[in-house]
Amino acid sequence: MRWFSPASALRPRRQFEVPHRLRAIVRARESSIIALAAAVGAVGGLVVAGMGEAVGLMHTLFFGIAPGERLSGQISINPLYALLVPTLGGLLFGAVSAYVTRKRGTEVDPVEANALHGGRMSIRGSLIVAAQTVWSSGIGASVGLEAGYTQLASGIASGFGRAFRLRRSDMRVLVGCGAAAAIAGAFGAPLGGAFYAFELIIGTYSIASLAPVGVASMVGYLTARVFTPLQLGIEASAVSVIGVRDLIIAAGVGLLAAIFGIAVMRGVAACEQLYIRLRVAPQFRPAIGGVLVGLMALVTPQVMSSGHGALHLTGILKLPVALVGLIFVLKALASIVSLGSGFRGGLFFASLLLGALGGQLFASGLSALLPGLQIDADTYAIIGLCALSVSVIGAPLTMTFIALETTGDLWLTTAVLIAAIISMQVTREFFGYSFATWRFHLRGETIRSAADVGWIRDLTVGQMMRADVRTTPVETPISAFREAFPIGSTNQVIAVDQDGRYAGMVLVAEAHAPELGATGSIRDILHHQDHMLLPQMTAQEAISAYERFEAEALAVVDSLERRQVTGLLTEAHALRRYSDASERQRRQLLGEG
């Protein structure tokens, strides 16, 4: 059995709560939830601006670049800074992170919070993750800030929800609002931010969640734009008509993006496993990763940090194909090494840069082979950018809307959608995970999306079972059993040995069968001697046990070693409770109550 203690997000703490009357108003009106979502949106925009400003300041202080410039947009960088800053910064990061992990465990992120914990996150833990992400990117590690943006914005949103004692469904939506605001602010794409929340953080789209998520996303976008008027930096020529040829080429880009995306995600896991096999202590891994990233930065500074500056450089300058290919390879390696070494951050923005570079390489190669096609490299940079990001983060509509909002070209967005669909499907077919859910898989967790499965784990056998069970010694004669349990008194009786341990199940109707006779003991008619349930099993696991053992009822024991009977659970009752809980979740999802 897997024992995992997720972060201290779930530890009981004294939580600030607003007055009861205000809580009642917010819980009773959908418009109040929308107002709360707007506040969360403003916080999300401020988080994006604040974290971005902090990283920029660190780059100015540590690498000696001019204020307002981006590290990954530099043509060259001081070799001493390139090597020492990531190395020493990684050493400090490793030491502090090892201490924090020992004290707090693993922090719950928005996807896991919504999937398992009803949207409950720790604000303190989210601040720690955000600080780790800022430090990682600030010292030049090849990681994106989007994971820190969404963690902190969603964590604060969860704190708002707890302060108002929101229902489980409203808490999950509010966590999605925080993520939507952060992504909308970071990428200048309110529609993209909203669908990021629907696809990745909430796990579904519903009418009930549309208004709060949409408002939070728009407010987050407007707030962030006040402080950081940033765009992705790639522009494409207008595409007036999309023909069959364009869709076929876009599908090819999607296929290649999926293959490369899977390779990068597996590369991160392989890097982590290499450290384990070499027995490198976790606190020293970031320093080693920092050295490697610094060495690559000596070749091209575009590998450092999240890559915002490099993406602008790629869009503005017509770089030689050889240089684009070099940046592409080194950026992929730097991202793998940085995340595999334990630095905090995400692959989202790295996948944008790698996809843009890969799209340009694809277009250049195809133009060289077929000069008559007249392919626009910037157009395929955008298609590649979105296709690779879909493979990594698993959100096709999010990236489609980001492409639309970035370029304003609806026809180009059609080709992007085709590439996104192909990329998503190939990744799901041959890999099965996005980067976030792949990380859950590596640590032994089973969730694959933010869809709410926590209620299934909360509905346990211990909650559903009957504790007032009827037992009988296993050596009871059949005649005595018939007198003690006449037909109609109960359907089944649990047999126990002289130490009170579970021995099997006796069916009362079978014990009264005329052909059985009155001689012998009930030991001869026991069923399911080795088939039991445990109190901590979920309803889903119990239902699977009934099907596997072909049983209508099973005894519940305290443990497989002690086998002391604590209750009885029938298949009919388990199915009814599971069905009721499913219907309640469906109604909450649709906003019906």
Tell me the per-residue pLDDT of 30-46, one tens digit each, with 9 for 90 and over: 888 999 999 999 999 99
CATH code linked to domain 457-587: 3.10.580.10
DSSP helix/strand/coil, 106: strand
Question: In this structure, how many other beta carbons lie within 10 angstroms of the beta carbon of residue 349?
Answer: 28
Residue that has been written with the tokens 């590369």 in this structure: 267
pLDDT given at position 5: 41
What is the mean predicted confidence (pLDDT) over 554-561?
93
Residue 443: per-residue pLDDT: 67
Nearest to 137 by CA among 202, 90, 200: 90
* Cα 65 to chain centroid, rounded: 35
Residues 6+ apart with CB under 8 A from 374: 367
DSSP assignment of 133-144 equals HHHHHHTT-S-B
Distance (Å, rounded) from C-alpha 234 to C-alpha 542? 53
- DSSP 8-state code for residue 562: T
What is the fold of 244-442?
A: Clc chloride channel (1.10.3080)
pLDDT beyond 60 at 290: yes
The one-character DSSP state at 197 is I
Average pLDDT taken over every residue of the chain:
87
**Secondary structure (3-state) at 505:** strand
DSSP H or E segment with residue 285? helix 285-299
Distance (Å) of CA 260 to CA 12, 154, 263, 568: 43, 30, 5, 52
| Ranges for all domains in the chain classified under CATH 3.10.580.10 | 457-587
Residue 308 has pLDDT above 80, yes or no: no
Q: Which of 259, 269, 194, 268 is nearest to 390 (CA)?
A: 259
Mean pLDDT of 383-394: 93
Q: What is the DSSP letter of 107?
A: P
Q: Decide if pLDDT at 235 tops 60.
A: no
Per residue in 128-178, pLDDT (tens digit) is 999 999 999 999 999 989 999 999 999 999 999 999 989 888 999 999 999
Would you state the pLDDT for residue 371?
Answer: 83
Across 205-215, average pLDDT: 90
- Please provide residue 78's backbone torsions phi and psi, each rounded to the nearest 5 degrees: -55, 120
pLDDT at 191: 94
Rg (Cα) of the chain, in Å, rounded? 29
Cα separation, 484 vs 469, whole angstroms = 14
Token digits of residue 241: 């008509």
**Rounded distance, CA 169 to CA 450, Å?**
12
What tokens were used for 73? 């947009």
Check residue 199 and report its DSSP letter: I
| 17-232 CATH pick, 1.10.390.10, 1.10.3080.10, 3.40.710.10, 1.20.1070.10 | 1.10.3080.10
Determine the average pLDDT of the residues in 471-498. Answer: 90
Instruction: Output the pLDDT for position 446.
Output: 65
**Segment among 175-179, 321-325, 503-507, 518-522 with least mean pLDDT:** 518-522
Q: Give me the mean pLDDT over the 414-430 stretch.
A: 94
The structure tokens 């780059």 sit at 59
- Residue 8 has a pLDDT of 43
Rounded Cα gap, residues 222 and 56, in angstroms = 21
Can you give the pLDDT at residue 587? Answer: 66
Q: State how far the Cα of 357 lies from the Cα of 322, in Å rounded to an integer.
A: 11
Burial of 259 (0-12, 13-18, 19+ CB in 10 A): middle
HSE-up (13 A, CA, CB side) for residue 296: 27
* CA nearest to 477, candidates 522, 511, 514: 522
Q: For residues 41 and 180, what is the distance between their CA atoms, to the nearest angstrom?
A: 8
**Cα gap 110→113, rounded to integer Å:** 5
End-to-end CA distance of the chain: 36
The residue type found at 298 is L
Q: How many helices (H) and strands (E) does the chain have?
A: 24, 5
User: Which pLDDT does position 116 carry in this prediction?
Assistant: 81
Q: List, as one string, the DSSP characters of 564-592.
A: BEEEEEEHHHHHHHHHHHHHHHHHHHTT-
Residue 512's Cβ-count burial label (10 Å; 0-12, 13-18, 19+) is middle
Instruction: For CATH 1.10.3080.10, list the domain ranges present in the chain.
Output: 17-232, 244-442
CB neighbours of residue 432 within 10 Å: 12
Please list the residues that pair with 430 across neighbouring strands. none
Q: What are phi and psi for residue 427, nearest 5 degrees?
A: -65, -45
Residue 1 pLDDT: 33
Mean pLDDT of 100-119: 85
Q: Are 81 and 219 in contact (CB under 8 A)?
A: no
